[in-house]
Amino acid sequence: MAQYAGTPAEPAPPCPDLPVYAGDDLGARPDPAGTTFRVWAPTASGVTLRLFRYGSDAEAAAEEPEASVDNDTTSAGDRPGPFASHELTPGPAGTWMARCDGVGHGVYYDYLVRFPDGTAHRTADPWARAAGVNGRRSMVVDLARTDPDGWESDRRPHVASHDLVIWETHVGDFSDDMHSGVPFEHRGTYLAFTYDDTSVDGEGAFPTCVAYLKHLGVTAVQLMPFYDYGSIDESLARDDPRHGFNWGYDPLNVNVPEGSYSTDPFHGEVRIRECKRMIQALHAAGIKVIMDVVYNHMFSADNWLERMVPGYALRRRVDGALADGSGCGNDVATEHPMMRRYIVDSVVYWASEYHIDGFRFDLMGLIDVDTMNAIRTALDELPGGATVLMHGEPWAARETALDPAAGVVLADKRGLPYLSPRIGAFCDTTRDAVRGHIFFHKEPGYLSGAAADYADDIRHAADAWRGTPHETASVAQVIQYVSAHDDLTLWDKLCAAMRRLPAEADYAADDVDAGGRCADLMAANRLAAGIVFTAAGVPFLLSGEEFARTKHGDSDSYRSPASLNRLDWRRARRLHALVAHYAALIRLRRGNPAYFGGARTIVPRDDETVVFRVGDDCVAVNPVGETRLQSTVALETPAPYDEVAKIAPDDWRCLYCAADGFASGPAAASGWGVPSDGASGSDASPDGDAAALPLPSVEDRAMPLPPYSITVWRRGRHG
Contact present, 570 and 579 (Cβ < 8 Å): no
Neighbours of 375 (CB within 10 A): 27
Q: Up-side HSE of residue 577: CA atoms within 13 Å toward CB?
A: 30
Note if 362 is an active site residue.
yes
- Helix/strand/coil for 160: coil
Contact present, 42 and 312 (Cβ < 8 Å): no
- Residue 274 belongs to what H/E stretch? helix 268-284
Cα 708-710-713 angle, rounded to 5 deg: 140
Residue whose C-alpha is closest to residue 671's, from 692, 687, 656: 687
Q: What is the distance between the alpha carbons of residues 283 and 31, in angstroms, rounded to a whole number?
A: 30
- 399 CB burial (10 A radius; 0-12, 13-18, 19+): middle
Q: What is the distance between the alpha carbons of residues 687 and 669, in angstroms, rounded to a whole number?
A: 6
Q: What is the distance between the alpha carbons of residues 690 and 468, in angstroms, rounded to a whole number?
A: 46
Question: Parallel, antiparallel, or unpaired: how do β-strands 220-223 and 538-542 relate?
Answer: unpaired
- Residue 460 belongs to what H/E stretch? helix 451-462
- 143 CB burial (10 A radius; 0-12, 13-18, 19+): middle
Q: What is the distance between the alpha carbons of residues 339 and 365, in angstroms, rounded to a whole number?
A: 16
Q: What is the distance between the alpha carbons of residues 377 and 371, in angstroms, rounded to a whole number?
A: 10
Q: Is the C-alpha dihedral spanning 376, 382, 385, 390 positive or negative?
A: negative
- Torsion angles phi and psi, residue 424, rounded to 5: -90, 170
Question: Parallel, antiparallel, or unpaired: how do β-strands 166-169 and 538-542 relate?
Answer: parallel
**Type of residue numbered 26:** L
Chain Cα centroid distance, residue 688? 35
Q: Is the C-alpha dihedral spanning 210, 215, 220, 223 positive or negative?
A: negative
Contact present, 38 and 430 (Cβ < 8 Å): no
Set 177, 258, 393, 546: catalytic member: 393
Chain Cα centroid distance, residue 440? 23
Any idea how long the chain is? 719
Set 125, 177, 250, 362: catalytic member: 362
Q: What is the distance between the alpha carbons of residues 669 and 1, in angstroms, rounded to a whole number?
A: 54
Q: What is the distance between the alpha carbons of residues 74 and 122, in angstroms, rounded to a whole number?
A: 5
Chain Cα centroid distance, residue 581? 23
Q: What is the distance between the alpha carbons of residues 398 and 421, in angstroms, rounded to a whole number?
A: 25
Question: Parallel, antiparallel, or unpaired: how do β-strands 138-139 and 46-52 relate?
Answer: unpaired
Bridge partners of residue 11, in order along the sequence: 402
Helix orientation angle between 451-462 and 519-534, rounded to the nearest 10 degrees: 30
- Residue 457 belongs to what H/E stretch? helix 451-462
Q: What is the distance between the alpha carbons of residues 625 and 660, in angstroms, rounded to a whole number?
A: 11
**Type of residue numbered 679:** A
Active site residues: 362, 393
